[in-house]
Amino acid sequence: MTETKALGSFLRDRRSRLDPATFGFSGRRRTPGLRREEVAQRANICPTWYTWLEQGRGGAPSPDVLNRIANGLMLTEPEREHLFMLGLGRPPEVRFRAAEGISPRLQRLIDTLEASPALVRTAAWDIVAWNRAATVVLTDYDRLAPVDRNILRLLFCNPAIRQHQHDWDAMARFVVGAFRADAVRAGATTEIAELVDELSKASPEFEALWRENEVSSLGEGTKRLKHPVLGDIELEYSGFAVDGRPDLSLVVYNPVHPTVAHRIRTLAQ
């Protein structure tokens, strides 16, 4: 089956699943779902053009047309992505969403990592979830106001966090570059403008680094900390995407030395 035929089949299938009464459409119907002209009306596109798409004709639709159709058919985010892959051979541009927390299932997952600090952060680097090991090793996020649970604010505006870094200058440079890349990737350039302005006023060091326009990737690497109880520790970190939430990232820190892992597990109990 060609992609154009697959696109038409997908549109017909999703159109047939919608209840006309939900959208105020009435009249006797030979088949279930909305009519083609009704979908076109909801998507604010030409009925003929929509018909051609279902029939595998008319060429490649524009991203705007696909977004309108996705809204008209009330597609879920995975369905919208699939529509773009069929219509254009690529996923849609990421649409930034403000922090909404995480699912209970993801929280339960990171809670199982008893010796490995784990964080879930947004594209603006707001921390929206963490496990007990993160509280023990990194900081007690429960004691912070939600607005202060931001990695950039902590790194540049919290003296205690700063003094725990082995090489603050290198860490700060790397974090700013990764933060910039994440924000652009998630389509959050406009949304982070206020945060960038705030940090630039609060920290000349942040302002200087931001002006350098460096870009880096979190990926994976090693982090060294001067911990008040555990002493000097070394952690390997890895970053992971959260499926279905392009605005969220999971970061897991694994202790390099088994003895440190054992002590973290003990403190986290």
pLDDT tens digits, residue range 35-65? 999 999 999 999 998 999 999 876 788 899 9
Cα of 37 vs its chain's centroid, Å: 35
Q: Is the pLDDT of residue 264 over 90?
A: yes
Going from the C-alpha of 253 to that of each of 226, 236, 238, the distances in angstroms are 15, 5, 7
Same domain membership, residue 109 and residue 83: no
Instruction: Specify if 95 maps to a domain.
Output: no
- Write down the pLDDT at residue 31: 83
Helix (H) or strand (E) holding 166: none
pLDDT computed for residue 29 by the predictor:
80
Taken in order 27, 31, 32, 37, is the CA torsion positive or negative? negative
The mean per-residue pLDDT over the stretch 139-162 comes to 94
Tokens 């890349």 belong to 181
Average of pLDDT values for 86-112? 80
Q: Which of 103, 95, 132 is nearest to 117 (CA)?
A: 132
Are both 59 and 112 inside the same structural domain?
no
Q: What integer pLDDT is reported at residue 245 of this predicted model?
A: 76
Q: In CATH, what number is assigned to the domain containing residue 113?
A: 3.30.450.180
83 and 74 in contact (C-beta within 8 Å)? no
Closest CA to 233 of 203, 254, 207: 254
Helix (H) or strand (E) holding 138: none
Provide the H-helix boundaries in 73-167: 77-88, 104-111, 132-137, 151-157, 159-163
Note whether residue 99 is domain-resident: no
CA distance 32 to 19: 8
* pLDDT confidence tier of residue 99, bands split at 50, 70 and 90: low
**267: Cβ contacts below 8 Å, ≥ 6 apart:** 136, 229, 230
CB atoms within 10 A of CB 52: 16
Structure tokens at 58: 């008319």
Residues 71 and 112 in one domain: no
The verdict on 84 and 115 lying in the same domain is no
In 3D space, the residue among 168, 267, 144 whose CA is nearest the CA of residue 225 turns out to be 168
Q: Is the pLDDT of residue 27 over 70?
A: yes
| pLDDT value of residue 94 | 64
CB atoms near residue 206 (< 10 Å): 23
Mean pLDDT estimate for the chain: 89
Widest CA span in the chain: 75
Examine the domain organization and report whether 113 and 18 are in the same domain.
no
The pTM of this model reads: 0.69
> Is the same domain home to 138 and 247?
yes
27 and 110 together in one domain: no
Whether the predicted pLDDT of 119 surpasses 90: yes
Band of pLDDT at residue 1, cut at 50, 70 and 90: very low
From 88, 114, 136, the end of a domain falls on 88
User: Please, which pLDDT band fits residue 98 given cuts at 50, 70 and 90?
Assistant: low
Of 88, 121, 138, which one is at a domain's C-terminal end?
88
For the chain, the domain total comes to 2
How does DSSP classify residue 187?
T
In angstroms, the Cα distances linking 45 to 10, 41, 49, 207 are 18, 7, 7, 46
Q: Are residues 148 and 78 in the same domain?
A: no
Q: How far apart are alpha carbons 261 and 254 in whole angstroms?
A: 8
Domain boundary among 88, 116, 144: 88
Domain hosting residue 176, numbered range: 104-268
CATH number, domain with residue 36:
1.10.260.40
Q: Is residue 161 part of a domain?
A: yes
Mean pLDDT score, 120-129: 92
